[in-house]
Amino acid sequence: MTDLAAPSGPVVVLDGGLSTALEQQGARLGDDLWTARLLAEQPERIAAAHRAYFRAGASVATTASYQASVEGFVGAGYDTAEAWRLIARSVGIAREVRDEAEFAARRSGLLVAASVGPYGAVLADGSEYRGRYGVSAQRLRDFHRARLELLAAAGPDLFAVETIPDVDEAEVLVDLLDDVGLPAWFCYSVRGESTSAGQPLTQAYAALAGSRAIVAAGVNCSPQADVLGAVTAAVSATRLPAIAYPNRGGSWDSVAKQWAYGDPIDLALLAPWIGAGVRYVGGCCGTGPADIAGLAERVGRLTA
């Protein structure tokens, strides 16, 4: 991770939306556990999604732990021990596919990023796009600490802290990430010049500055039109490489648990993003393996 933390380092192609790749396989994801349910019921689908993204040119597999929590699994009828096992299994599946991909394609340097979604993701009501959950900092700390420690023990290369909607939760997470000590990228969900909760991006990214664990800062699951402003603010505040993986636009239906997608990522935007300091780039909801293949080809040409 040392090289990847350098602002002048290579551009790393991320994967796309795990849920999108799973839906393209025909998986049904319309419940509160979302992709995490497949850890118990159809882990082979998750492995196939990781495999498809590596074949498309991604160098990172992001685990199926975004919406996975002990509370969520227990609420769905699993016991606590099984919940812990399934969360750790999200890392295991990605590691197995990564090792297989490196061997089959004689590639090296592929990474496994353990997805750490916001507290609101586990509520499964769309509040990860609003923030301001009405719970204490201690409640957020207790929730995130247990999951971070479990995921770290499973052996990922780094954390993918993603879709964080507000600064209050970010401040809790930064302290915990520094305690755990595993490298992490950190992404907010944003709307224009503010977080999804409405705080200025200057304030949001200032909360990340000086972290010992964070190696890249930026934006995900947000409109592509908002990426450039967010990564510019991130680089200015943190002096770290930027990361960007927007969604396909549209809107999230919290009742149906699905996106109404908009337009695919405009690949003409990649050059300005890279020029602004983006060193990790991929897609989020609505972006599948075919989209990542096109993105990887464009990145290759821009950085040749």
- Give 72-95 pLDDT, tens digit per residue: 999 999 999 999 999 999 999 999
Tell whether the model's pLDDT for residue 231 goes beyond 80.
Answer: yes
Separation in Å, CA 129 to CA 24, 134, 241? 24, 14, 24
Tell whether the model's pLDDT for residue 104 goes beyond 80.
Answer: no
Residue 218: predicted pLDDT: 98
Q: What is the dihedral of CA 228, 224, 286, 197, to 10 degrees?
A: 80
Domains and CATH numbers, the chain: 3-303 (3.20.20.330)
Q: What is the pLDDT of residues 189-219, one digit of tens each?
A: 999 999 999 999 999 999 999 999 999 999 9
What does the alpha-carbon distance between residue 11 and residue 76 come to, in Å, rounded to a whole number? 40
Instruction: Give 80 or 108, the one with higher predicted confidence.
Output: 80
Residue 9: predicted pLDDT: 65
What's the whole-number mean pLDDT along residues 218-227? 96
The residue with tokens 């930026």 is: 218
What does the alpha-carbon distance between residue 251 and residue 74 come to, in Å, rounded to a whole number? 29
Local confidence band at 2 (pLDDT 50, 70, 90 cut-offs): very low
Instruction: Give 47 or 259, the one with higher predicted confidence.
Output: 47
Residue 269: predicted pLDDT: 98
Tell whether the model's pLDDT for residue 183 goes beyond 70.
Answer: yes
DSSP E strand stretches across 37-181: 60-62, 111-116, 158-164
Residue 259: predicted pLDDT: 60
pTM score: 0.93
Give me the chain's average pLDDT, please.
Answer: 92
Backbone angles phi, psi at 32, to 5 degrees: -65, -25
Local confidence band at 69 (pLDDT 50, 70, 90 cut-offs): very high
* HSE-up (13 A, CA, CB side) for residue 72: 26
Residue 225 CB contacts under 8 Å (≥ 6 apart), including other chains: none
> CA angle 29-220-116, nearest 5°?
65
Inter-residue contact 78 to 39 (CB < 8 Å)? no
Residue 123: predicted pLDDT: 86
Residue 256: predicted pLDDT: 61
Q: What is the DSSP letter of 265?
A: P
Residue 192: predicted pLDDT: 96
